[in-house]
């Protein structure tokens, strides 16, 4: 039988058991918050190793991105789940002469891409420090990307990109990051993580 006490108001005092139960629930809540963030990061920022012995490239690219070796690049990975422009990271090696400079290379890239990409625009170049403290040249640019299939209707997307150019011996390594412009800041950490783990 349930005991009813009428006319006597409990002022909310908790027993020790109740208090500890409550604390345990709070601790559980905080723990789950931290574990959730950790789980999110471990999945969002999970990486897959990649190695090309002939090119001398070792890298870790984001897990779940589509790996492609079939073009004129060492490899390219794209996030195919993105609704707009498929975020792309690409590593390319171009033979150069001993007299070539990063500026020559970037000028060539600009001239080539200006003919392929719509509204291609390059911004001032800057020095970029890699994780091994060597210096590279970084250049940011934007262009407009559209659907290649003429039978489909797509709105073009403004794409922001960054190229990191490193000259070594008789080759230039160009690491490219391209993403929808409105997500550039949000997804740039992914590229930063990639650069930190990139070895060539």
The contact set with other proteins (CB under 8 A) reads 1-4, 9-12, 14, 17-18, 20-22, 24-25, 27-29, 32-33, 35-37, 39-40, 43-44, 63-71, 80-84, 86, 115-118, 147-155
Nearer to other proteins by Cβ, of 145 and 198: the residue is 145
Least distance in Å: CB of 39 to other proteins?
6
Nearer to other proteins by Cβ, of 129 and 154: the residue is 154
Measured CA to CA, the distance from residue 163 to residue 180 in angstroms comes to: 15
Measured CA to CA, the distance from residue 144 to residue 119 in angstroms comes to: 6
Residues in the chain: 200
Least distance in Å: CB of 149 to other proteins?
6
Nearer to other proteins by Cβ, of 37 and 126: the residue is 37
Tell the burial category of 37 from Cβ atoms under 10 Å away from its Cβ (0-12, 13-18, 19+).
Answer: exposed
Least distance in Å: CB of 119 to other proteins?
9
Both structure tokens of 7: 């006319």
- Please, what is the Cα angle at 7 between 3 and 9, to 5 degrees? 85
Nearer to other proteins by Cβ, of 101 and 186: the residue is 186
Both structure tokens of 114: 């200006």
Q: Check: CB of residue 97 under 8 Å from CB of residue 192.
A: no
Least distance in Å: CB of 103 to other proteins?
23
């Amino acid at each position: 039988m349930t005991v009813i006490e009428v006319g006597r108001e409990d002022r909310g005092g908790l027993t020790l058991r109740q208090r500890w139960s409550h604390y345990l629930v709070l601790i559980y809540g905080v723990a789950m918050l931290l574990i959730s963030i950790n789980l999110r990061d471990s999945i969002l920022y999970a990486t897959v190793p990649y190695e090309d012995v002939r090119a001398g490239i070792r890298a870790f690219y984001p897990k779940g991105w589509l790996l492609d070796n079939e073009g004129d690049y060492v490899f390219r990975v794209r996030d195919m789940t993105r609704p707009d422009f498929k975020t792309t990271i690409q590593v390319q090696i171009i033979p150069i002469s001993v007299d070539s400079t990063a500026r020559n290379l970037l000028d060539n890239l600009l001239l080539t891409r200006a003919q392929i990409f719509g509204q291609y625009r390059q911004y001032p170049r800057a020095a970029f420090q890699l994780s091994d403290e060597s210096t590279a040249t970084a250049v940011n640019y934007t262009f407009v990307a559209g659907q290649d299939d003429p039978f489909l209707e797509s709105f073009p997307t403004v794409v922001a990109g960054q190229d990191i150019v490193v000259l070594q011996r008789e080759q230039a390594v160009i690491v490219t990051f391209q993403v929808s412009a409105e997500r550039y800041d949000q997804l740039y950490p992914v590229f930063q993580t990639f650069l930190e783990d990139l070895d060539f």
